[in-house]
Chains A and B, each alone.
Chain A
């Protein structure tokens, strides 16, 4: 990881051992996980070519399937692998660098971010990767096996839509309404996609990266007058360590 400005600055001010540790993701030894590896192997058999990527990391199973296999993958998890508890369902917009936010960020340093930005303007897409701008993800648990899984699917960058999983989990209903309202995902077969939080007249999808946060457009943050500088901010290079 190439920290140009920041590391040299704090290197002068801090103790030698207080330098930033190496990113954990770079050198993770792949230890066999007796609880989770069998699940991934079983899923490879059940889903076949529909299992695009899988990883056992951070005490967790991460799996990515194509949008067309979304419903089937959840069904397989529920019926064949006892995943009976739905934790949440949500979405991600991988569009890079929301410029309305960074413009107002005084300490913004665009170089390291652009490093991870692909030609299509999207950033690196998590543990299991991705091909498109939007991803839908659901987290399920098996109470019997004390096991959790995060399942993801790529959605179309222009018109994201995916089959609803409400027939499998009733608890997905509100989560899908929320994802529809916040990201504009269309859930085919959902019993009633209507606004959950926002008024019915609301236009746009607030959690998309190109939806500006109006408060920041009107007044830059942090306010120069009423907010004291953060420890370690640009205007306070002398602070050695937060303790």
Chain B
């Protein structure tokens, strides 16, 4: 059996940690293998944790169990075929994955979707946020040992998914966005149904607030756990609710020029100064609430008109490069698309996913924490494996 470089460095680091622990406390260190199949890993992330008693000496996340090589696959597909792939990156935020890619291609092609399409895109984008973060609100409870909230979360997410299904035909993988617009218009009666569901989502948020945020055990398990200072978070490139929970007022929906309809409605970016697990939960709770309000306002002002710009049957994207990123449920997701002007797909497509950077901080963050807090911290960072491995 050959010993790889990685195994060797892991072994040496382990031995060094052992030596230090024996010298300081005279206890045997232990290596705990968390995952790849642990409910807190949202997929298959493996974290090798070196323990000194109950405390973590070092932690090393091992990714790649779900690496599908999307950046390579994209190069041999046409632009129309790629939304099918990218739907599966952050599988809980389905529609939100398609939008930045389509916007980047529209930017390269020099076409803009009609207003109605942009508004419906924004509605679906926010619904993806509600479905994604709504599940987190319940899931965080289950990681801490409270089983009830997750059932509420799954129950209420179902309404959002049903809405998605009635409009797009897909519950998880809508594949609805097109270069120049949308596949279809909304079905009859959808708008009224959507208002009812948004109301339900707000009730669900209130429920979660009573069940978890106000809960003494929940607060004790999350307050002061996994504190990320503002500067460290930026240094690691954290984005989304993770960085807003560290007091950074940064949201691409507001801070980047986007053709989507966020600038048309009245909403607020929520931040929290603490930077701990509780703050990250609290910020996401507010974001779900805010998203329902955005959807409500967008439904009120939904413009009429076409949902697709005039597009040729064959898409030949001119030579050039573009970078577009949006504020996805998990954080900043962006596509750097290069076109060679040929009839095929992109020449190069770099997919910047939020979870990749969000989980990069784990080795720093887990140093010195206790074993039960590992799960709290991982759950509060909230990553999706497809979003790390791509």
Question: Interface of A with B (CB < 8 Å)?
Answer: 1, 3, 6, 9-10, 13-15, 17-26, 58-60, 84-88, 90, 92-93, 96-98, 101-102, 104-105, 107-109, 112-113, 115-116, 123-124, 126-127, 137, 139, 143, 146, 148, 150, 169-171, 173-174, 182, 192, 194-201, 206-207, 213, 216, 221, 230-232, 239-243
What separation, in Å, do the CA atoms of A91 and B354 have in the docked complex?
18
User: Is B189 part of the binding interface, using a Cβ–Cβ cutoff of 8 Å?
Assistant: no
Beta-carbon contact of B323 and A170 below 8 Å? no
Closest to A92 in B: B348
Q: How far is the CB of A235 from chain B (nearest CB, A)?
A: 13
Within 8 A of A (CB), among B291-341: 308, 310-316, 318-323, 325, 332, 334, 336, 338, 340-341
Closest to B352 in A: A88
Question: Interface of B with A (CB < 8 Å)?
Answer: 4-7, 9, 63-64, 67, 69, 71-73, 75-76, 78, 80-81, 107-111, 178, 231-232, 234-237, 248, 250, 255-257, 308, 310-316, 318-323, 325, 332, 334, 336, 338, 340-344, 347-348, 350, 352, 356-357, 360, 364, 389
Beta-carbon contact of A126 and B338 below 8 Å? yes
* With A88-B350, A239-B313, A241-B311 as contacts: A25 and B320 at CB distance below 8 Å: yes
> Which residues of the other chain, B, contact A3 by a CB distance below 8 angstroms?
316
Of A10, A174, A200, the residue contacting B4 (CB under 8 A) is A200
What separation, in Å, do the CA atoms of A199 and B2 have in the docked complex?
13
Beta-carbon contact of A58 and B255 below 8 Å? no
> Which residues of the other chain, A, contact B9 by a CB distance below 8 angstroms?
192, 194
Beta-carbon contact of B310 and A17 below 8 Å? yes
Of B6, B321, B338, B341, the residue contacting A113 (CB under 8 A) is B341
Closest to A90 in B: B350
Beta-carbon contact of B341 and A1 below 8 Å? yes
Beta-carbon contact of B356 and A174 below 8 Å? yes
Sorted nearest first, the 10 A-B pairs with minimum C-beta distance are: A24-B110, A23-B318, A232-B313, A171-B237, A197-B64, A200-B4, A197-B67, A171-B236, A88-B352, A101-B76
> Which residues of the other chain, A, contact B320 by a CB distance below 8 angstroms?
23-25, 126-127
Beta-carbon contact of B343 and A107 below 8 Å? yes
What separation, in Å, do the CA atoms of A240 and B256 have in the docked complex?
36
Q: How far is the CB of A81 from chain B (nearest CB, A)?
A: 14
What separation, in Å, do the CA atoms of A92 and B336 have in the docked complex?
11
* With A14-B312, A173-B360, A194-B5 as contacts: A23 and B344 at CB distance below 8 Å: no
Closest to B180 in A: A242
Beta-carbon contact of A98 and B72 below 8 Å? no
* With A87-B334, A143-B248 as contacts: A98 and B75 at CB distance below 8 Å: yes
> Which residues of the other chain, B, contact A90 by a CB distance below 8 angstroms?
336, 350
> Which residues of the other chain, A, contact B323 by a CB distance below 8 angstroms?
58, 60, 139, 150
What separation, in Å, do the CA atoms of A124 and B178 have in the docked complex?
27
> Which residues of the other chain, B, contact A19 by a CB distance below 8 angstroms?
312
* With A58-B107, A86-B237, A87-B332 as contacts: A213 and B72 at CB distance below 8 Å: yes
Beta-carbon contact of A85 and B5 below 8 Å? no
Beta-carbon contact of B76 and A213 below 8 Å? yes
Of A26, A84, A213, A232, the residue contacting B234 (CB under 8 A) is A84
What separation, in Å, do the CA atoms of A231 and B183 have in the docked complex?
13
Beta-carbon contact of B316 and A25 below 8 Å? no
